């Protein structure tokens, strides 16, 4: 957090994600995650510490691999892949994912917002800002804690203007494990279509 801003609460920047979920590495069922912060913590460590249903006992007392999935893949949901091990956002900062409204080569864009509400679209902008604000170095915030790697749509026929009710973003799972150094299933973001940034 920037100097002098520790007493003020950063403005919550519009985010297109409504719901966070993770797929159990053992039973492959989806478990809803209670917060963005917990989701980011799980995603950051998913390769070293695969998510299993028992992990959800931290916030929910009645869950096991024997239970049905919390959410189901189906109509009106578009699944996409997010990279595993994206660092957890530093305290006071926000990582924002915005779905692109029109076709193109990317499914979504990633932005970071500082505690002073400055938005960054690239690592170059962010690094320049951190260099110009040494107070963040004193708080151990550095560029290695940020990733502008955007999730990508799994459905290669996805058409942005024919958007469904919900859009879901999934991290690397067993079906792509070999491509990501044997990475286990990870978290899923759900993007709401009525909140999509129309670029």
pLDDT in tens, 100-148: 765 666 778 899 999 999 999 999 999 999 999 989 988 999 999 999 9
**Burial call 63-100: b when 16+ CB within 10 Å, e when fewer:** beeeeeebbeeeeebbbbbbbbbbebbbebbbbbbbbb
179 has a pLDDT exceeding 60:
no
How many Cβ atoms sit within 10 Å of the Cβ of residue 48? 10
56 has a pLDDT exceeding 90:
yes
CA atoms 28, 94, 84, 176: torsion sign: positive
- Could you tell me which residues are beta bridge partners of residue 94? 113
| Least confidently predicted of 86-90, 95-99, 156-160, 162-166 | 162-166
Judge whether 164 and 157 are in contact, CB under 8 Å. no
Return mean pLDDT, the chain: 74
pTM: predicted TM-score of the whole model, two decimal places: 0.70
Closest CA relative to residue 180, chosen from 42, 46, 84: 84
Which of these CATH numbers, 2.60.40.10, 3.20.20.140, 2.60.120.620, 3.30.890.10, describes 17-195? 3.30.890.10
Judge whether 74 and 166 are in contact, CB under 8 Å. no
Q: What is the structure's pLDDT at 159?
A: 45
Q: Which residue has the higher pLDDT, 89 or 20?
A: 89
4 has a pLDDT exceeding 70:
no
Q: What is the structure's pLDDT at 7?
A: 40
């Amino acid at each position: 957090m920037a100097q002098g801003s520790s007493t003020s609460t950063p403005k919550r920047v519009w985010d297109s994600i409504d719901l966070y979920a993770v797929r159990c590495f053992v039973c492959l069922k989806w478990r809803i995650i209670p917060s963005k912060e917990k989701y980011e913590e799980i995603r950051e460590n998913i390769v070293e510490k695969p998510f299993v249903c028992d992990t959800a006992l931290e916030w929910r007392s009645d869950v096991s691999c024997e239970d049905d999935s919390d959410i189901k893949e189906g109509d009106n949901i578009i699944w996409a892949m997010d990279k595993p091990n994206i660092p957890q956002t530093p305290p006071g900062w926000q990582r924002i994912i915005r779905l692109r409204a029109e076709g193109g080569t990317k499914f979504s864009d990633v932005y970071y917002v500082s505690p002073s509400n400055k938005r960054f679209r690239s690592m170059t902008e962010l690094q320049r800002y951190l260099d110009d604000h040494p107070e963040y170095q004193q708080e151990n915030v550095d560029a290695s804690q940020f990733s502008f790697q955007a999730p990508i749509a799994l459905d290669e026929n996805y058409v942005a203007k024919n958007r469904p009710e919900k859009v879901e973003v999934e991290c690397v799972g067993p079906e792509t494990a070999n491509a990501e150094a044997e990475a286990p299933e990870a978290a899923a973001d759900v993007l709401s279509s009525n909140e999509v940034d129309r670029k």
